[in-house]
């Protein structure tokens, strides 16, 4: 989408600056997007609870991953502390809706704003750092926030965790996966459109300039500190919303689970999906959510079968599953280091230019 | 061409796998879910426990199942990753009538769902906050569908403190004994911290400032030096086995003279082997009335069940294995009651758990502790044993050999009976 | 003021800090040569520890022999990883290579669990006297061995990078890959060698931690401690990484001392390095000893 050079078909020329900067490069891509959202709206009637829960997971993880992609892919920073912001959003939403008695409908955006504040707090010192120093500063943020979660019983419920109310709109409670799916879908569509829109505004272009060559950007008058900090803030906002949706889906938030391994999973989502691509984020999230499920299904098919008996794998199958997950990530990146978005663009280009592509 | 074929291949395989994954069992059996950790961070204790549950289910089926129907159990190894546990649950929901779960991560993630869907959840997470079915105690959430066999972490810690108080008196200690809590700043070790410190103060101990050490193995000389300097007499190790081993070894090197108190997941046969002589004299709670080598009537059944995965009958089974079997057998007897009283549904199984008082499943006399669940109180065991570790000599070799040779021994030092206090409920 | 306790804590901090410094050195070696943040450093330690354990337990080799064989194996292993997995990624965006190291760490964690099981295993007794006395502090003999070896390695590294041809070649490649290539330095060989050395030296740290605490899958988390050490020391000098490691080791213990005597905030042993890290980075964005990158347009 925006931020990358789109392949325009012959004859599709633009006559005004505004029409050149549309979020969807062609009418067809807009139509496909609308169709896709409409198809997804039918999902609760077609799919069972299992697939629906996977879709909801892809939803809130995708929102958080998009935040990370804005930070890493569009601004060229790096963060290994994203799970801590995700967790902060989850706790904040539970806290706001429980202790401050704000309806959940408003608690979720407020939690996003609270997380933005925390993100800005860490963004201010981080704006001066580059490369590995920045990565490790965010690692420090991850551990510091985790320690805070364990310590601050008033905020997180400490040992017992905290229960999160279920979503309700004007007193009408929305419970059950079928209904919650629409809430997540709405947030997903709005936030993804917002990110795509951000990238075509002046601020978005400034972020990309900071990524590509920050010296030149600074010389052109782009305030590096301001945009780097802003990038942290926006990324934290997305993480906070994702975390809040997660909290109200589970109905319970516990300190466990927002650890460094989770941060690394977010990084995996955006790297495999494609840095700097809004669509790629979603693809990467789908990949990372489905990979363990597919591997689990394979392992279940394999156990007890002839191959299992032949190689006497038995308990080794679960380890084989984990090893395959690591191997798939490694092999995927060896063959496609630019991510799924790039591969998708190649496929589209192949069909567009057929039979003249090579 | 290469791009297209690879893309097509990927899509097809993913589709094929997804279509296989949610397998709907339309059999005549009783669907039961089973979450385990065989390959994740808690696999060293999750492995034996999960194996115990799996073997018990296989044994139940071999004996004809429950009410003539076999248990259709689906074992999912979720590697301690919450998203996988949620996906596994959603795959089961609507079908299973009970779930044998595992640790804090999955239990807490699923507590909202299973309460709404009315599915009894048998966990190996013994957090006291899961023992209040109606709410109103210090735990502010009502968990009517969470069950576990074993004392809560808090009650086990209280029991250790009670033993420490008696031990202090027996040793003729002058003045106030000193008690210190050692553990990571993490929910698992923190779970019993407040309860134990409060009870220690009540029993006349001087409670020192807690000492933190991480859940991962490492060098904990600093913590041991501080412990030595503080002059503590009783130190509760709240972490899991891996890091407890590091602390025990470091404190042995530094020369700390303190009575270590372990916890259920923090000291077991494997930890004794790994820590060697450093684990000598540690006192820890055991959930069952007997260990694998004891000759009690119930152990014969355990050995039968063990043969489901070890036909030779030579494997040594840790206490976690036996606890897993007990947990499954309690579920089975509740299901049998449900069959005779309205059918096997989640709610009926729950009611089946409240029927008997002080019950041990048939055939496990002398092994599974008599347990009671009521509609107001899910604290099943307020009576449990404390064992002391005795390590004589080097600990190379398999655990079975070491125990047979007597290099590692576990001696019962006390049977603790805690009062069922309302003020202690839920924390 | 408990002076003896403080002294012992500082001493213990220096000993463990030497280990952190060694692992930090390996990490910086890879980062300097190929700009890759190696998330699999902990797994290198783990593989080295398990390999040494296996040689000792299965084949009953004497410790020195098993240790040397482990080092040789890890050198080959590091070379193999670089040639098979990382060579195809030369020239690709560095963040993809970072992700590959993450994938490798997942792969090797699972492989180690499969091959050696999930429970902690103790090392067989190696030294006649497991503990020894140092200025009144009882420490494990293996720590004395590791400190001596660490100092030896640091000196060897210092000599290697200053005076040997290959060392100069590595420094040149770290400074500017293309210029080094144009001068006839084989960048592939430099990368391969840097990964091989890094794996080999990590194995040393892994074996030491294994002897002290037993080998278990969680040993790889030791690698996380490396990151604050690397930052403190700055990325420019290997010796800086070592100094960073020592500082972190002492800092942890001193923070713990302050916490247990006066502050009583709890958990400062784990958290203090990270807070200090952020403070230092706010004041000196290139670490304590890092040289400021002069940027030219």
Residue of B nearest to A152 (CA): B185
Share of chain C above pLDDT 70, in %: 96
Q: What is the pLDDT of residue B54?
A: 92
Which one of B43, B246, B253 has the shortest CB-CB distance to C138?
B253
The C-alpha of B340 sits at a distance from chain A's nearest C-alpha, in angstroms, of 30
Residues of chain A contacting C228 with CB distance shorter than 8 Å: 136, 140
Residues of chain B contacting C270 with CB distance shorter than 8 Å: 184-185, 212, 214
Mean residue pLDDT of chain B comes to 86
The C-alpha of B166 sits at a distance from chain C's nearest C-alpha, in angstroms, of 28
Residue B77 to residue B54: CA distance in whole angstroms: 12
Q: What is the pLDDT of residue A358?
A: 59
Residue of A nearest to B128 (CA): A160
Angle at B385 between CA B382 and CA B386, to 5 degrees: 125
Locate the domains of chain A by residue range.
24-259
Between residues A313 and B326, the one the model is more confident about: B326
The answer to whether C114 contacts A268, with C-beta atoms less than 8 Å apart, is no
Q: Please report the number of interchain residue pairs, chain A to chain C, with beta-carbon separation below 8 angstroms.
A: 131
Q: Measured between CB atoms, does C285 come within 8 Å of chain A?
A: yes
Residue A103 to residue C135: CA distance in whole angstroms: 63
The C-alpha of A324 sits at a distance from chain B's nearest C-alpha, in angstroms, of 13
Q: What is the pLDDT of residue B59?
A: 93
Give the 3-state DSSP-derived string for chain A, with helices as H, strands as E and coil as C: CCCCCCCCCCCCCCCCHHHHCCCCCCHHHHHHHHHHHHHHHCHHHHCCHHHHHHHHHHHHHHHHHHHHHHHHHHCCCCCCCHHHHHHHHHHHHHHHHHHCCCCHHHHHHHHHHHHHHHHHHHHHHHCCCCHHHHHHHHHHHHHHHHHHHHHCHHHHCHHHCEECCCCEECCEECCCHHHHHHHHHHHHHHHHHHHHHHHHCHHHHHHHHHHHCHHHHHHCCCCHHHHHHHHHHHHHHHHHHHHHHHHHHHCEECCCCCCHHHHHHHHHHHHHHCCCCHHHHHHHHHHHHHHHHHHHHHHHHHCCCHHHHHHCCCCHHHHHHHHHHHHHHHHHHHHCCCCHHHHHHHHHHHHHHCCCCC
Q: What is the pTM of this model?
A: 0.88
Q: Measured between CB atoms, does A175 come within 8 Å of chain B?
A: yes
Q: Please report the number of interchain residue pairs, chain B to chain C, with beta-carbon separation below 8 angstroms.
A: 122
The answer to whether B47 contacts C216, with C-beta atoms less than 8 Å apart, is no
Q: What is the pLDDT of residue B23?
A: 46
The answer to whether C222 contacts B218, with C-beta atoms less than 8 Å apart, is yes
Q: What is the pLDDT of residue C53?
A: 92
Residue A307 to residue B415: CA distance in whole angstroms: 49
In this predicted model, what pLDDT tens digit does every residue of C110-148 receive, in sequence order?
Answer: 999 989 888 888 888 887 777 888 787 778 888 888 888
Which one of A125, A219, A321 has the shortest CB-CB distance to C282?
A125
Q: Measured between CB atoms, does C221 come within 8 Å of chain A?
A: no
Residues of chain B contacting C150 with CB distance shorter than 8 Å: none
Between residues A172 and C271, the one the model is more confident about: C271
Which one of B44, B274, B394 has the shortest CB-CB distance to C125?
B394
Q: What is the pLDDT of residue A357?
A: 64
Q: What is the pLDDT of residue A48?
A: 84
Q: What is the pLDDT of residue A222?
A: 92
Residues of chain C contacting B221 with CB distance shorter than 8 Å: 12, 16, 139, 253
Q: Measured between CB atoms, does B395 come within 8 Å of chain C?
A: yes
Q: What is the pLDDT of residue C73?
A: 94
The answer to whether B270 contacts C119, with C-beta atoms less than 8 Å apart, is yes
Q: Measured between CB atoms, does A52 come within 8 Å of chain B?
A: yes
Share of chain B above pLDDT 90, in %: 33
What's CA C285's distance to the chain center, in Å?
22
Which three-class secondary structure state does DSSP give residue B367?
A: coil
Give the 3-state DSSP-derived string for chain C, with helices as H, strands as E and coil as C: CCHHHHHHHHHHHHHHHHHHHHHHHHHHHHHHHHCCCCCCHHHHHHHHHHHHHHHHHHCCCCHHHHHHHHHHHHHHHHHHHHHHHHHHHCCCCHHHHHHHHHHHHHHHHHHHHHHHCCCCECCCCCCCCCEEEECCEEEEHHHHHHHHHHHHHHHHHHHHHHHCHHHHHHHHHHHCHHHHHHCCCCHHHHHHHHHHHHHHHHHHHHHHHHHHHCECHHHHHHHHHHHHHHHHHCCCCHHHHHHHHHHHHHHHHHHHHHHHHHHCCCCHHHHHHHHHHHHHHHHCCCCCCCCCCCCCC
Residue of C nearest to A324 (CA): C107
Which one of A147, A216, A271 has the shortest CB-CB distance to C271?
A147
Q: What is the pLDDT of residue B1?
A: 40
**B neighbour chains, 3+ CB pairs within 8 Å:** A, C
Span B241-245, average pLDDT: 88
Residue of C nearest to A217 (CA): C297
- In B270-299, the residues whose Cβ lies within 8 Å of chain C are 270-271, 273-276
Cis peptide before C241 (omega within 30 of 0): no
Q: What is the pLDDT of residue C293?
A: 65
Q: What is the pLDDT of residue B236?
A: 94
Residue of B nearest to C205 (CA): B218
Q: What is the pLDDT of residue B27?
A: 58
The answer to whether A321 contacts B39, with C-beta atoms less than 8 Å apart, is yes
Which one of A140, A143, A330 has the shortest CB-CB distance to C100?
A330
Check whether B20 has a pLDDT greater than 60. Answer: no
ipTM of the complex: 0.85
Locate the domains of chain C by residue range.
19-221
- Reference C249, options C79, C6, C7, C9; nearest CA is C9
Residues of chain B contacting A252 with CB distance shorter than 8 Å: 108-109, 111-112, 141
Which domains are delineated in chain B?
A: 29-150+295-381 (3.40.50.2300), 153-290+383-424 (3.40.50.2300)
Q: What is the pLDDT of residue A61?
A: 96
In this predicted model, what pLDDT tens digit does every residue of A114-155 receive, in sequence order?
Answer: 999 999 988 888 888 877 778 888 888 898 998 888 888 888
Q: Measured between CB atoms, does B396 come within 8 Å of chain C?
A: yes
The answer to whether A329 contacts C102, with C-beta atoms less than 8 Å apart, is yes
Which residues are CB-contacts of A235 (< 8 A; sequence separation ≥ 6)? A67, A68, A70, A71, A79, A82, A85, A119
Residue of B nearest to C252 (CA): B222
Residue A328 to residue A325: CA distance in whole angstroms: 5
Give the pair of three-digit tokens for residue B228. 């030595």
Q: Between the ranges A79-88, A122-131, C151-160, C266-275, where is the mean pLDDT highest?
A: A79-88
Which residues are CB-contacts of C79 (< 8 A; sequence separation ≥ 6)? C192, C193, C195, C196
Span C222-238, average pLDDT: 77
Q: What is the pLDDT of residue B25?
A: 46
- In C116-155, the residues whose Cβ lies within 8 Å of chain B are 118-122, 124-125, 130-131, 137-140
Span C165-179, average pLDDT: 85
Q: Measured between CB atoms, does C267 come within 8 Å of chain A?
A: yes
The C-alpha of A190 sits at a distance from chain B's nearest C-alpha, in angstroms, of 24
Substitution target in B225, B232, B256 with the highest count of C β-carbons within 10 Å is B225
Q: What is the pLDDT of residue C294?
A: 63
Give the pair of three-digit tokens for residue A265. 């999973």
Span B70-74, average pLDDT: 90
Q: What is the pLDDT of residue B164?
A: 92
The answer to whether A326 contacts C96, with C-beta atoms less than 8 Å apart, is no
Q: What is the pLDDT of residue B13?
A: 53
What's CA B214's distance to the chain center, in Å?
20
- Kindly give the interhelix angle for A177-200 and A27-41, rounded to the nearest 10 degrees: 160
Check whether B6 has a pLDDT greater than 60. Answer: no
Q: How many CA atoms lie within 13 A of A68 on its CB side?
A: 38
Q: Measured between CB atoms, does C280 come within 8 Å of chain A?
A: no
Residue of B nearest to C56 (CA): B396
Which three-class secondary structure state does DSSP give residue B398?
A: coil
Give the pair of three-digit tokens for residue B24. 């709907």
Q: Please report the number of interchain residue pairs, chain A to chain B, with beta-carbon separation below 8 angstroms.
A: 131
Q: What is the pLDDT of residue A171?
A: 65
Residues of chain B contacting C265 with CB distance shorter than 8 Å: none
Q: What is the pLDDT of residue B21?
A: 44
Q: Measured between CB atoms, does A179 come within 8 Å of chain C?
A: no
Residues (pLDDT < 50) of chain A are 1-4
Which three-class secondary structure state does DSSP give residue B364?
A: coil
What are phi and psi for residue B404, nearest 5 degrees? -65, -40
**A neighbour chains, 3+ CB pairs within 8 Å:** B, C
The answer to whether A338 contacts C93, with C-beta atoms less than 8 Å apart, is yes
């Amino acid at each position: 989408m925006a931020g990358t050079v789109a392949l325009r078909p012959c004859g599709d020329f633009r006559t005004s600056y505004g029409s050149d900067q549309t979020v969807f490069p062609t009418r067809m891509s807009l139509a496909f997007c609308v169709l896709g959202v409409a198809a997804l709206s039918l999902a609760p009637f077609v799919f069972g609870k299992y697939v629906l829960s996977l879709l909801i997971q892809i939803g809130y993880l995708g929102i958080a991953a998009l935040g990370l992609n804005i930070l890493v892919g569009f601004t060229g920073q790096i963060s290994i502390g994203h799970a801590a912001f995700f967790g902060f959003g989850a706790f904040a939403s539970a806290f706001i809706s429980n202790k401050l008695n704000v309806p959940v409908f408003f608690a979720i955006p407020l939690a996003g704003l609270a997380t933005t504040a925390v993100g800005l707090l860490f963004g201010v010192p981080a704006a001066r750092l580059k490369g590995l120093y920045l990565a490790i500063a965010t690692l420090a943020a991850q551990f510091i926030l985790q320690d805070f979660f364990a310590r601050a019983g008033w905020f997180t419920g400490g040992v017992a965790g905290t229960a999160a109310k279920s979503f309700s709109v004007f007193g009408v409670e929305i419970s059950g996966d079928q209904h919650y799916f629409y809430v997540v879908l709405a947030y997903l569509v709005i936030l993804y459109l917002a990110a795509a829109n951000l990238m075509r505004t002046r601020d978005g272009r400034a972020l990309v300039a900071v990524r590509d060559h920050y010296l030149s950007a600074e010389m052109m008058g782009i305030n590096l500190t301001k945009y780097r900090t802003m990038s942290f803030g926006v990324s934290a906002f997305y993480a906070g919303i994702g975390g809040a949706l997660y909290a109200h889906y589970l109905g319970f938030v516990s300190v466990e689970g927002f650890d460094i391994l989770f941060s690394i999973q977010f990084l995996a989502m955006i790297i495999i999906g494609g840095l700097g691509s809004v669509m790629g984020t979603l693809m990467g999230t789908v990949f990372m959510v489905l990979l363990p499920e597919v591997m689990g299904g394979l392992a279940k098919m394999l156990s007890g079968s002839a191959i299992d008996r032949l190689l006497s794998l038995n308990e080794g199958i679960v380890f084989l599953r984990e090893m395959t997950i690591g191997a798939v990530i490694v092999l995927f990146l060896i063959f496609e280091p630019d991510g799924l978005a790039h591969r998708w663009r190649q496929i589209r280009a192949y069909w567009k230019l057929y039979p003249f592509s090579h | 061409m290469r791009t297209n074929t690879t893309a097509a291949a990927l899509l097809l395989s993913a589709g094929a796998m997804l279509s296989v994954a949610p397998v709907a069992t339309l059999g005549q059996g009783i669907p039961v879910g089973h979450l385990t950790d065989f390959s994740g961070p808690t696999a060293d204790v999750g492995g034996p426990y999960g194996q115990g549950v799996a073997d018990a289910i296989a044994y139940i089926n071999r004996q004809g199942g429950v009410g003539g129907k076999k248990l259709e159990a689906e074992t999912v190894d979720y590697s301690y990753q919450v998203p996988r546990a949620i996906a596994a649950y959603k795959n089961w929901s609507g079908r299973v009538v009970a779930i044998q779960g595992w640790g804090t991560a999955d239990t807490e993630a699923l507590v909202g769902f299973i309460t709404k869907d009315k599915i009894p959840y048998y966990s190996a997470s013994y957090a006291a906050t899961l023992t209040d079915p109606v709410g109103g105690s210090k735990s502010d959430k009502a968990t009517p569908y969470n069950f576990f066999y074993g004392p809560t972490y808090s009650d086990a810690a209280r029991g250790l403190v009670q033993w420490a108080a008696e031990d202090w008196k027996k040793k003729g200690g002058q003045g106030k004994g000193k008690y210190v809590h050692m553990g990571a700043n993490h929910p698992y070790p923190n779970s019993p911290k407040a309860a134990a410190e409060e009870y220690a103060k009540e029993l006349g101990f001087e409670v020192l400032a807690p000492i933190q050490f991480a859940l991962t193995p490492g060098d904990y000389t600093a913590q041991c030096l501080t412990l030595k300097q503080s002059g503590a007499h009783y130190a509760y190790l709240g972490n899991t086995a891996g890091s407890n081993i590091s602390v025990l070894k470091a404190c042995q090197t530094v020369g700390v003279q303190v009575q270590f108190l372990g916890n259920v997941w923090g000291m077991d046969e494997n930890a004794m082997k790994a820590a060697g002589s450093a684990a000598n004299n540690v006192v820890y709670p055991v959930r069952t009335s007997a260990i694998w080598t004891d000759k009690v009537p119930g152990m014969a059944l355990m050995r039968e069940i063990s043969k489901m995965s070890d036909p030779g009958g030579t494997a040594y089974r840790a206490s976690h294995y036996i606890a897993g079997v007990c947990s499954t057998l309690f579920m089975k007897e509740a299901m049998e009651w449900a069959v005779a009283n309205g059918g096997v549904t989640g709610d009926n199984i729950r009611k089946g758990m409240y029927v008997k008082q002080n019950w041990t499943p048939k055939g496990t006399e002398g092994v599974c502790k008599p347990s009671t669940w009521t509609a107001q109180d899910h604290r099943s065991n307020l009576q449990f044993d404390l064992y002391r570790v005795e390590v004589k000599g080097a600990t190379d070799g398999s655990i079975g050999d070491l125990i047979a040779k007597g290099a590692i021994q576990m001696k019962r030092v006390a049977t603790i009976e805690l009062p069922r206090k309302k003020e202690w409920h839920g924390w | 003021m408990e002076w003896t306790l403080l002294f012992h804590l500082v001493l213990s901090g220096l000993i463990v800090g030497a280990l952190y410094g060694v692992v930090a050195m390996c990490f910086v070696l890879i980062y300097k040569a190929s700009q890759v943040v190696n998330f699999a450093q902990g797994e290198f330690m783990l593989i080295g520890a398990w390999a040494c354990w296996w040689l000792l337990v299965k084949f009953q080799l004497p410790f020195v022999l098993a240790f040397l064989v482990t080092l040789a194996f890890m050198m080959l292993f590091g070379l193999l990883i670089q040639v098979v997995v990382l060579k195809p990624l030369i020239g690709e965006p560095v963040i993809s290579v970072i992700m590959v190291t993450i994938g490798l760490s997942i792969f090797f964690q699972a492989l180690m669990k499969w091959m050696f099981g999930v429970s902690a295993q103790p090392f067989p007794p190696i030294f006649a006297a497991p503990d020894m006395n140092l200025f009144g502090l009882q420490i494990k003999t293996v720590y004395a061995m590791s400190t001596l070896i660490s100092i030896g390695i640091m000196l060897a590294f210092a000599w290697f990078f200053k005076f040997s041809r290959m060392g100069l070649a590595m420094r040149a490649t770290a400074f500017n890959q293309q210029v080094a290539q144009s001068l006839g330095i084989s960048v592939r060989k430099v990368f391969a060698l840097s990964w091989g050395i890094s794996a080999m030296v990590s194995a040393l740290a892994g074996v030491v931690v294994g002897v002290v605490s037993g080998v278990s899958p969680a040993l790889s988390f030791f690698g996380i401690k490396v990151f604050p050490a690397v930052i403190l020391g700055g990325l420019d000098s290997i010796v800086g990484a070592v100094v960073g490691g020592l500082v972190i080791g002492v800092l942890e213990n001193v923070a713990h001392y302050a916490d247990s005597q006066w502050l009583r905030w709890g958990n400062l042993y784990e958290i203090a390095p990270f807070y200090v890290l952020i403070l230092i980075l706010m004041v000196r964005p290139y670490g304590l000893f890092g040289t400021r990158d002069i940027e030219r347009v």
